[in-house]
Amino acid sequence: MTTATRGAAREAAGGAAPSPELIAAVLAPGARPPRPGALSASLTFGWRAMLKFKHVPEQLFDVTAFPIMLTLMFTYLFGGALAGSTGEYLQFLLPGIMVMSVVMTTMYTGVSVNTDIAKGVFDRFRSIPMWRPAPMVGYLLGDMFRYTMASLVILTLGLILGFRPDGGAAGTAAGILVLVAFSFAFSWVWTMVGLLMRTDKAVIGVSMLVVFPLTFLSNILVKPETMPGWLQAFVDVNPIAHLVALVRGLMDGSVEGDAVVWVTGWGVGLIAVFGPLTMWLYNRK
């Protein structure tokens, strides 16, 4: 026991109120630890998101079994009818189905946010002296592992089935990197939805209403040239269609400059708009 602690004990025993200096010496005898930085706090919450996969591994079914099912189903269901052979159709389909699987997975970020709010976990986070967006950024960093896993699962299956990217390993890796980065930006939409909705089922319902038209009304399964004019107009401004064009171009070794501009613009715009909105809702929650 230190001298200050013994002094406070004697004053308390004698009935006199301890001085503020003695109270501070007892409660905080050492130097106050430094406040964690933005990166440190975000990585900590990202690791927390990763630990959920360890304790509940069935959460990874949507990035393992679901992508495999989609790839096999669309390849052998539409391959012969649309391209004349499953092998030729796989060359066109695989980059698109990779985008579809990962983009559909992004909605579960909002579900996780909504679940933690319902359990009161976020109330505890708000009492911690740290960078305020850290919990949200941590969710997204943890989910980037899921996006990468889904991409690698589809790529591995595609290579087994006969997919051969003309862009080589570098182009394929660049395509996956672009997909994961865009999904990080797109996930900010679902963090906002997770804060707005009252139940996780409502989050899934709203997410499906947005994700299904964006993915199916695009260039994932068929070429836009085969669509009616009014639908082509929608595809031309669909961010998912531009993402598919860029990922497909990187894997094929034929990148178009317009796709790079569109995807970059959409990614920056999503973060710039939905990032501040998410934090505004989070601070008011």
Residues 20 and 55 in one domain: no
Q: What percentage of residues in the chain have a pLDDT greater than 70?
A: 88
More confident site: 33 or 167: 167
Residues 26 and 56 in one domain: no
Residues 95 and 4 in one domain: no
Residues 85 and 104 in one domain: yes
* Virtual torsion, Cα 137, 143, 145, 150, nearest 10 deg: -150
Residues 44 and 61 in one domain: yes
Among the residue ranges 18-22, 48-52, 210-214, 245-249, the one predicted with the least confidence is 18-22
pLDDT tens-digit readout, 22-45: 666 666 566 666 777 788 888 888
> Position of tokens 């009304």?
217
Residue 87 pLDDT greater than 60, yes or no: yes
| pLDDT score for 169 | 92
Residue 219 pLDDT greater than 70, yes or no: yes
- Which pLDDT band holds residue 262 (cuts at 50, 70, 90)? very high
Amino acid letter, 20: P
Regarding pTM above 0.75, the answer is yes
Residue 8 pLDDT greater than 70, yes or no: no
Q: What is the mean pLDDT of residues 161-173?
A: 92
Residues 156 and 188 in one domain: yes
Average of per-residue pLDDT values in the chain: 85
Q: What is the mean pLDDT of residues 7-24?
A: 60
68 in Cβ contact with 157 (< 8 Å):
yes
Amino acid letter, 261: V
Alpha carbon separation from 214 to 103, 164, 200, 227, 235 (Å, rounded):
10, 27, 21, 15, 9
Helix 107-119 to helix 200-216 angle (10° resolution) is 170
Q: What percentage of residues in the chain have a pLDDT greater than 90?
A: 42
| pLDDT score for 29 | 61
* Domain span at 8: 1-30
Q: What is the mean pLDDT of residues 111-128?
A: 82
Residues 195 and 62 in one domain: yes
| pLDDT score for 123 | 77
Alpha carbon separation from 151 to 27, 62, 185, 239, 265 (Å, rounded):
51, 12, 17, 19, 23
Residues 135 and 70 in one domain: yes
Q: Kindly write down the DSSP assignment for every residue of 225-281, as one continuous string.
A: GGS-HHHHHHHHH-HHHHHHHHHHHHHHT---HHHHHHHHHHHHHHHHHHHHHHHHH
Residues 95 and 222 in one domain: yes
CA angle 92/252/76 to nearest 5° reads 20
Residues 24 and 61 in one domain: no
- What's the rounded Cα separation, in Å, for the pair 215 and 212? 5
| pLDDT score for 14 | 53
Long-range pairs for 1-6: beta carbons < 8 A, 24 or more residues apart: 2/29, 4/29, 5/29
Residues 229 and 277 in one domain: yes
Residues 164 and 23 in one domain: no
Number of domains in the chain: 2
